[in-house]
Structure 1
Amino acid sequence: MDSSMIYELRTPSMVEPNKTYPALFVMHGMGSNEQNMLSLVAGLEDVFYIFSIRGPLSQPPGFAYFTIQGYGKPHREAFDQGITQLTNFIDYAAERYPIDQDRLYLLGFSQGAIVSMTLGLTLGNRIKGIVALSGYIPRFVKEEYRIKPVDQLSLFISHGEFDNVLPYEWGLESKEFFLGLKSQVSFHAYPEGHTVSMKNQQDFTKWILDDLHA
């Protein structure tokens, strides 16, 4: 199995043979790239195989996983294709690398958070945890996608209270949607705009390590 997606891989410094490791799939925001997310997860490579995945679409000055037709409205065809490509990449990584199938995590900012939460819904309890930073769930995903059981899924959802790109209320809606599906949700608000503060980074790093060892 091959992957058409470009990615940066970070691994523990000492990888032991015949051992599997938890995996963290990292998705960037629109117009960004796979390099920009690595500083957010610095240190976690001591524990995880980290796959920072470049969006397949050109979006100067960087890349994107889908295009948008309006405020909060992804182009459906591009979005569906992006989700399919990311799903195939997770399958590819699981086949090629020594990762623990029971400890798969997703982390994304903005557009990366949107696809992370969508993948959580479509892959269901195959995913152990999601860190969704400043994103939302598209309406057509909620209403038309085939959603799998997520009662074993844990999420860290955060949003800036002064986000002028994706409204804070959309973060609250994501929390309520997953709670309605019986997921375990930890919601965090920060006095920030559309960004990830150092406090936010510290909080999700602690959360993901705690969840991993729960």
Structure 2
Amino acid sequence: MIANMPSNPLSLEFKIKQPRIKREENPPAIIFLHGRGADENDLIGLAEYLDDRFLFISVRAPFPWIFSGGYTWFEIEDLGKPDVSMFEKSYNKLVHFINEIPDQVHLDKNKIILCGFSMGAMMAYSVALSEPDQIFGVIALSGLVPEGNMQYKWVKVAGKPFFIGHGIHDSVIPVSYARRSKEILIKANANVTYREYDMDHQISEETLADVVKWSTKLINTAKRNNDDLHI
């Protein structure tokens, strides 16, 4: 069952889907971060295909996007360069949300995976690289690592699991940005799984199948090895 959850006193609006198989009081969680012009309903449907043990939370970006009626995390000055003021507000709200949600919902705060699409992937990267102790892993679909004046904690990124999926025909964020993101993370000794697909700016069935495999292996490996991950 998918339920609407009030944001008050939380920072952002969201929807939640409980694990289909609840083996732990505090299950691992995947937080979905949608792209520009969508909302919290956009990615929650992916939960039907992912491992039954996950708790799923789908978050709404804080700013209305007037062109579609959806929401956005920020406006873009240039590809890969967010409007600084909007980005900082969204970033702070998202970090605050991630810190406060374990007090409202039963989940394992040490096993939070961020799954972002497009602009949502940029937010996932930003939080995971700036606050790596808060994030267990990242699924970045059709996105890029924001560069510039970001204060990333590269030393703590070593070993952090990242799944990057991108279309070679992406007409919104060219695949070169994903390749650049991969190289940045590899240089930081992150644990990177990188896949390219014969698609545009989207999530294909093949992409979803790889995400399912990666995320299931991630929690299985963590359980066997007491979080000593090497995938």
Q: What TM-score comes out, normalization by structure 2 length?
A: 0.86
Q: Which of 53, 59, 78 is 1:70 aligned to?
A: 78
The two structures, once aligned, show a CA RMSD in angstroms of 1.7
SS in 1 for 2:103: helix
Distance 1:56 1:204 in 2: 26
Structure 2 partner of 1:94: 102
Q: Percent identity?
A: 27
Amino acid at match of 2:43: M
Counterpart Cα distance in 1 of 2:105 and 2:207: 30
CA deviation profile, 1:143-195 (whole Å, cap 9, x unmatched): 44242511131010011001110010000111111111111000000011111
1:166/1:159 CA distance change after superposition, 3 Å: same
For residues 112-123 of structure 1, the aligned pairs below 5 Å read 112-123=120-131
Rounded Cα–Cα distance in structure 1 between residues aligned with 2:57 and 2:82: 24
* Structure 1 residues 6 and 46: CA distance shift in structure 2, 3 A: same
**8 Å Cα contact 2:125/2:146 also seen in 1:** no
Which residue in 2 is equivalent to 1:156?
Answer: 163
CA distance in 2, matches of 1:39, 1:90: 21
For structure 1, the residue ranges without an aligned partner over 5 or more in a row are: none
Counterpart contact for 1:65–1:111, Cα < 8 Å: yes
Q: Which residue of 1 aligns with 2:112?
A: 104
Q: Is residue 56 of structure 2 the alignment partner of residue 33 of structure 1?
A: no
Aligned residues: 211
Q: CA deviation at 1:15?
A: 4.6
- Counterpart contact for 1:2–1:92, Cα < 8 Å: no
Of 185, 190, 194, 2:197 maps to 190
Give the Cα–Cα distance (whole angstroms) in 1 for the partners of residues 217 and 188 of structure 2: 22
**Partner secondary structure for residue 25 of structure 2:** coil
Matches within 5 A, 1:1-214: 2-13=9-20, 15=22, 19-44=25-50, 46-59=52-65, 60-140=68-148, 143-147=149-153, 149-214=156-221
Which range moved further: 173-182 or 5-14?
5-14
Q: Could you say if the C-alpha distance between residues 122 and 107 of structure 1 is closer, same or farther in structure 2, counting changes exceeding 3 Å?
A: same
Check 1:15–1:211 CA distance in 2 against 1; reply closer, same or farther (3 A cut).
Answer: closer
